[in-house]
Chain A
Amino acid sequence: MAANAHAVEEHAGPAGPVAHHFNNMRQQQATVRFGMWLFLVTEVLFFGGAFCAYTCYRIWFPREFEAGSAALNVGIASVNTILLITSSLTCTMAVRSAYKAHQAGIKFWLLTTIVLAVTFLGLKAREYHLDYEEGLMPTAKMTVDLQPQADGSYLPQERSVFAMNVEKALKHNHYDTTGVNLGRVQLFFLFYYVITGLHVLHMIIGVGLLIWQLILAQMGFFKYAERHVYIEVMSLYWHFVDMVWMFALPLLYLAGPHTLHQAVEQFTSAVGLATGGSH
């Protein structure tokens, strides 16, 4: 035992290298796994706080949240959902390969996961861009707009820029805005940007992890099957990011009415496949 105390950083046993402060591989694996679960607990509370605040406001202002949701691009969101769920599957396949120390499998599945994730991020960027073009960014800016009067004439009136933009977007989606406080829809959009923004940030970090593990795999790090635990905890993280999306999707995108036709049209026009009817 005493020899152990001053051991160098890593000592290789039959089960692969064990870090200096662990007694054996089992302990090391269990600790790594446990650590990731602890991290996810923190993450649950992190997103939980945002969802909780969202819920409060949704209860107070159901109409505005419904309207805000109706203005979103549910087409891209649907495709992204499919991409993300598939990436969880491929990520799990990578874990399976790692269990068997199957090098080619690890690399292939990691790469597939990365491609799916990057596609997701690309589409998401496109969606943000479209939101930006439609002017769906919360802003304190005001402008002068001609408002129809009861006698058929128009009078100039100061209006919030955001309210005008969201009104236009909703009209395009055939959403009836009577009784909606359009300025207040900004509350919904603040949550939309915060929650999806945090989710995107988590995905970017996840892609970073995936790339890192791909490099490690390339370097032969996973030739010890015991090291599957590192891919395993990364996949835990990845599934968690997936789960967040599974909550964000209904809360943000499905809170208002959308049709399948609309979703298809939104997606095709967003990626430039549309032949006709784009705005």
Chain B
Amino acid sequence: MSVSKHVVSLLLENESGALSRVAGLFSMRGYNIESLTVAPTHDPTLSRATIVTSGDDRTIEQITKQLNKLVDVVRLVDLTEAAHVAHEMMMIKVRASGVQRDEIQRLSGIYKGKIVDVTESTFIIELTGNSDKLDAFIKSVGDEQILEVVRSGVTGIARGERGLKV
């Protein structure tokens, strides 16, 4: 069976142990986890988590079933099954002095990045979008220039009427 990437979105009880149950499940059962993001929703009793994982169909089915079985998981959807938006935010600190400053600014413009901090020798650029776009930007800037990269991990939501509600 072929391995594919899935974006799984969860509503969790906003309780101290909930996140460790989710993370523990992945390590305990040897499931792949590429990224995990979590924060409270507009309803403060609920947290919303997005997990990017990969596996063959059978593994993904087990992952979603096992997650659903956790008592702190309220709802779950595999976003990959239908149209969805899955974005990530990145802040990247790059070396920017002399001629590089113009070049970096130009690149950032192309990728619709936002320069959020400027010093004599560095820029911090904030960039949002799907993970491929972020990867591409990193590649364009090049290792030489990059000082630090911080990425939020993917957060996702289904398009249209489909979604996660209690």
A and B form one complex? no
